[in-house]
Structure 1
Amino acid sequence: MRRFLPAWLAGLLTLALPLSHALPAAALPPAASLRPEMRPLDATRPAPTRVTVSSQATRLAVARSLRPLTRGTVLQVAAPAPAAVSAPVADSGFATWTRAFRARAMAQGISAATFDRAFSGVTVNARVLERDGNQAEFSRPLWDYLDSAVSDTRTANGRAALSRHRDILDRIERRYGVEAEVVVAVWGLESAYGAMRGDTDIIAAMATLAYEGRRRDFFEAQLIAALRILQAGDVSPRQMVGSWAGAMGHTQFMPTSYLEHAVDFDGDGRRDIWSDDPVDALASTANYLRNHGWTTGQPWGMEVRLPDGFDYALTGERVKRDAAFWNARGVRLADGGRVPDHGRASILLPAGHRGVALVIYDNFHVIERYNPADAYVIAVGHLSDRITGGPDFRGGWPREDRALSRAEREELQQRLVRAGFHRYAVDGIIGPQTIDSVRRFQASLGWVPDGYASLRVLERLRGS
């Protein structure tokens, strides 16, 4: 997935499909798919459930993400169903749009035969429009998200999936240099190890959203890419299914990402990420991570303890130092060991000084290219560690806190501006600039300046 596209926000995907191939019968049932993002609603993507944490993701990472996310709540156990097709919606405008789009597609190299086969029987999908129009924001703290994303069930299922596909994952690891457990962790969060791949007709969904018009350019680009996939013969039109917003297969590639990074690892002549066999999807995910700079053998991150009197101005993704620097300042691993030398690293405090502290490496940012939410990256990394027998986080979380809504995040930024601590955009994004502004406000009060945009900070600003 050439990772998905411009600035996005939060999402939990739980689209239901059965899993008959990935886990042995004795394994625990698959946990729901969970894909959080932490970006505000904008013209580039739909945005359902938001997981809000103190994000330090850069705008570069946001701009490179391009996968709309969706969510659901039902886990089915029946056999895989064909693509869900809504009852036709009478709309003469859609027919007019389809004729015009056909000309645009043919101008970009799509054959008439491919287009006509793909659009045969396609109508406006009312279910897609309904989901697109009901994107209420639900704020969820990082720790609640991780409780689900790295649950005992998801971890057990990941170990079972790793064992079941060990041989092919070893081959993928040798080919692309991405550790097997990392690929499995992405699989677990994206589709619950293949259980929730989505059953919406992608051509109908992309056409509906392009016709609807609010993100026409984006969804037309995805639709052209989907037609290129069909023209290459990788899948048939009605077998090209996924989420209502376009993410496809075991590891949820958008069509444009598929074109850039999908591979035919099993050598059958097709890059098949849709079937029960996950081989091509897993290899494509490893290829995606490799193409974005994955370093073999480097951790994504490690839990650390910060010493009393630590300078919190040194935290955040913008500050990168070598292991000697962090060790000299008293930073230690959670088990008391010294920070190992895996290259330049940053200290991340996703829930402030009362939460887990992490030292993060370049591979953290590679996963961030798959999804720019810190919550997602931490979940993938931590799940990969747990799958291979690593411990749970030792540090606690400020569980009495609640996440700020988007409106509250915008209010916090506005109040920081009025108080003279913030000179940047009021956009509801708690990124490096807002974290720095919060840090300076906290320091002015004599608080620990960890940059954590909490309700306590907002309430103090309201009283200022």
Structure 2
Amino acid sequence: MLFRLPPRNLVATLIASFVVAYTVTLQQASADAGFQRWVQQFRGVAIQNGVSGATYDRAFRGITAPDPEVLEKARYQPEFRAEPWEYFDNRVQEDAIQRGRQLARQWKPWLDRIESQFGVSRYVLLAIWSVESNYGEVLKNERIMRSVPRSLATLAYADKRRAKFARQQLIAALKILQTGDIDVGHLTGSWAGAMGHTQFIPTSYQAYAVDMDGNGRRDIWTSIPDALATAANLLRRNGWRAGETWGYETAALPGGRKFPGGNMSLSRWQSIGVVRANGKPFPRPSDSAELKVPDGREGPSFLVTKNFQVIKRYNNSDKYALAVGLLADQIAGYGGLVRDWNRPFERLSYTETEELQKRLGALGYYDGPIDGKIGSGSRAAIRAFQARSGMQQDGHPGKEVLRRLRGN
């Protein structure tokens, strides 16, 4: 049999692939060398800021290259602006409510002590725990949690927009390690360095961390009492008013008029026709409140009080504070919204949403977690299925999509 040379175009392709691979390898080696130089140079900066050389070396032992996933998340974050129903459906749902109630019973003795010491509602703390880390489930996901020193060093070295923030947070993280509150193997967090059950960045940890369980360490990674007390301390020190609510859902706004921006007393709001959705009077009519209409005047509207603004010190977002407040109310046993979001489809329950994800996965459209939460992966899978099924490709997780899936 004669030996045949491969086609010329195949040879060219193989050569090109080799050149690209070799170039990428050289670039990575160069980047790694540059990163290692940066780590060595920053050692002096850390020492000047009170970090011992031994602590620094312990933190960076075995870390020789930046974390590429951190850079990917930092540089290519999707600019998806969630509709209100998308944001709240993923956070204020049956599983989060039921688990919050179960954990309220499980941790009642500690919640009693935390609530007594800090004056912050246990239900707000449980809601924050849910929204921040899914009651700690995120901490078990190795695809999400990563070395805090490596993540922050990566950002400080390679992300110009976040370099100053990352350097500051890295120094703080190294000081946390130096205190002995956590060992280097458990000093993990999100790609941006948010840590523990209640997701504190290192400088916020330094400012608010509490050793609630009294074991000599402020451990928000493995101690639930420490994590919840740390969140309570942040809220209290930013002005939380004990025994007061975050706000009230209002009835449909009177048509044909504009409403003033800013704060007015609840009694003043009531006098111009903005009343509670459940028909009850405001228990503290002299309290100051601001009107929020996150889904427009046709959707739910809220009068929010001082504690709403305090929740925003945790995350400066109206949606975030509303999600925490609404979830807290439902964990506490209050009813859900009187007026629902302007959702352009019939909403699925939590278990139905899990079923939707499972069926999409079985058909090869989806390979993400079965968690009852609709993210970008679920939406892409829904759109692909809708395209094959001749449906409008809107990516909405509605009952019609589930009915079609059940028919496959």
Aligned-pair identity in percent equals: 42
TM-superposed deviation, 1:148: 1.6
TM-superposed deviation, 1:90: 5.9
Query: What is the root-mean-square deviation of aligned Cα atoms in Å?
Result: 1.8
Corresponding letter in the other structure for 2:146: T
Partner SS state of residue 263, structure 2: coil
Q: State the match for 2:380 in structure 1.
A: none
Q: State the match for 1:205 in structure 2.
A: 151
Q: Distance in 2 between matches of 1:175 and 1:281?
A: 14
TM-superposed deviation, 1:324: 1.9
Partner SS state of residue 334, structure 2: coil
Q: Deviations over 1:142-167 (max 9, x none)?
A: 11221121101110011111111011
Matched, 1:223 2:170: yes
Matched, 1:279 2:225: yes
Q: 1:232 aligns with which of 179, 186, 189?
A: 179
Matched, 1:339 2:282: yes
* Structure 2 residues not aligned, in runs of 5+: 1-27, 346-408
TM-score with structure 1 setting the length: 0.65
Q: State the match for 1:416 in structure 2.
A: none
Check whether the contact 1:89–1:125 (CA below 8 A) recurs between aligned residues. no
Change (3 A) 1:310 1:260: farther
Q: State the match for 2:379 in structure 1.
A: none
Q: Deviations over 1:282-333 (max 9, x none)?
A: 100000110110001111111111453464232xxx5211122122112221
Q: State the match for 1:360 in structure 2.
A: 304
Check whether the contact 1:200–1:244 (CA below 8 A) recurs between aligned residues. yes
Q: 2:334 aligns with which of 368, 390, 398?
A: 390
Q: Distance in 2 between matches of 1:307 and 1:158?
A: 32
Matched, 1:165 2:111: no
Q: Distance in 1 between matches of 2:30 and 2:69?
A: 10
Corresponding letter in the other structure for 1:132: A
Check whether the contact 1:242–1:248 (CA below 8 A) recurs between aligned residues. yes
TM-score with structure 2 setting the length: 0.73
Change (3 A) 1:89 1:125: farther
Check whether the contact 1:327–1:338 (CA below 8 A) recurs between aligned residues. no
Q: Distance in 1 between matches of 2:185 and 2:157?
A: 20
Q: Distance in 1 between matches of 2:252 and 2:78?
A: 38
Q: Distance in 1 between matches of 2:228 and 2:210?
A: 9
Q: 1:69-148 counterparts in 2 under 5 A? A: 91-123=32-64, 124-148=66-90
Check whether the contact 1:88–1:125 (CA below 8 A) recurs between aligned residues. no
Q: Deviations over 1:122-161 (max 9, x none)?
A: 1212222232232122232111221121101110011111
Change (3 A) 1:132 1:319: closer
Q: State the match for 2:236 in structure 1.
A: 290
Check whether the contact 2:51–2:174 (CA below 8 A) recurs between aligned residues. yes
Q: State the match for 1:249 in structure 2.
A: 196
Partner SS state of residue 130, structure 1: helix
Q: 2:294 aligns with which of 333, 337, 350?
A: 350
Change (3 A) 1:89 1:337: farther
Q: Deviations over 1:365-397 (max 9, x none)?
A: 000111111111111000000001111101132
Partner SS state of residue 333, structure 1: coil
Corresponding letter in the other structure for 1:336: G
**Which segments of structure 1 move beyond 3 Å, counting only runs of 4 or more?**
87-90
Q: State the match for 2:265 in structure 1.
A: 322
Check whether the contact 1:222–1:255 (CA below 8 A) recurs between aligned residues. yes
Compare CA radii of gyration and give the structure with the larger one.
2
Count of residue pairs brought into register by the alignment: 311
